[in-house]
Structures are given as C-alpha cells and as structure tokens.
Amino acid sequence: MKRGLSNVFRLGAWTCVVLLALLSWLPAEDIIRTGINGRIEHFIAYMGTTLFVGAVYALRLGSLRIMAMLIGYAGILELGQNFSPGRHSTVLDFAASSFGVVAGAIAFQLGYALLRDTAVGRELRRASLPSR
C-alpha cells in the first residue's frame, strides 16, 4: 500500500496521455462536446494531463522536459487530426493545448513548492522514483 498513491498518479498520467490521442483522432461524427469552447477544452485537457504527468515524472525529468514532450505530443496529435474523418488541425487549437501544458507545469511547481514538506510532497517524491 506504500506505493498505492504513486501507482494512482502513474495510472492517471498514462490514462490521460492515451485519452488525448483517442479523443484527438476520433472522427468528427463521434465527438460529444461539453458545450464550452473547444479551445478551453484543449486547455483543460492538457493542463490536467500535465499535472498528472508532472506528479510522476517532473521531479525526475524536470518540468521543462515534460513541457517540451507534451507540447510536441500536442503538435503530433493536432497534425494527426488531418487524417481523421471530418477533423482538421488549427494553430489556435495547438496554442490552447500548449498554454494548457505551460499552465499545468506552473501549477504543479507551485503546488509542489507549497506541499514539499508534507505527506503529499513525500508521496510525489516517491511517485517520481523509477517503478520496479
């Protein structure tokens, strides 16, 4: 149970990464919208993903690397939409995703700075250890 929360963070991070791909490349006719602006959806999705990925990997790899990888991933997924029926890529959607990544990284760093010496901070450090 010691690594229980670490495993939840890791599962959450990879679930978010996979969901981003599935939702990005879903054909237009199968998309269910939330009712809010699509760019806000992009921002929220990438910010949440960055928080989960940051919880698992930022202390080991650094926030800049995490940001670079997720922004690159956003670009690949955005370009891939050109091959999905009824979908197209836009620079503004990519920008919204990128801003979400940056906001998520900043939020993670601020949260970690505030919680570093608490049980949550210790669990984040444990989550960043390589899995066995």
Q: Which of 106, 91, 130, 5 shows the shortest CA–CA distance to 50?
A: 106
pLDDT of residue 8: 86
CA distance 5 to 115: 15
Give per-residue pLDDT as tens, 14-54.
999 999 999 999 998 888 888 899 999 999 999 999 999 99
For residue 131, which amino acid is it?
S
3-state SS of the chain? Answer: CCCHHHHHHHHHHHHHHHHHHHHHHCCHHHCCCCCCCHHHHHHHHHHHHHHHHHHHHHHHHCHHHHHHHHHHHHHHHHHHHHHCCCCCCCHHHHHHHHHHHHHHHHHHHHHHHHHCCCHHHHHHHHHCCCCC
pLDDT band at 1; cut points 50, 70, 90: very low
Q: Which of 1, 15, 23, 132 shows the shortest CA–CA distance to 81?
A: 23
- CA distances for 115 relative to 10, 35, 88, 109, angstroms: 19, 34, 41, 10
Residue 2 has pLDDT above 70, yes or no: no
Give per-residue pLDDT as tens, 52-103.
999 889 888 999 999 999 999 999 999 999 999 989 999 999 999 999 999 9
Tokens of 91: 């620079």
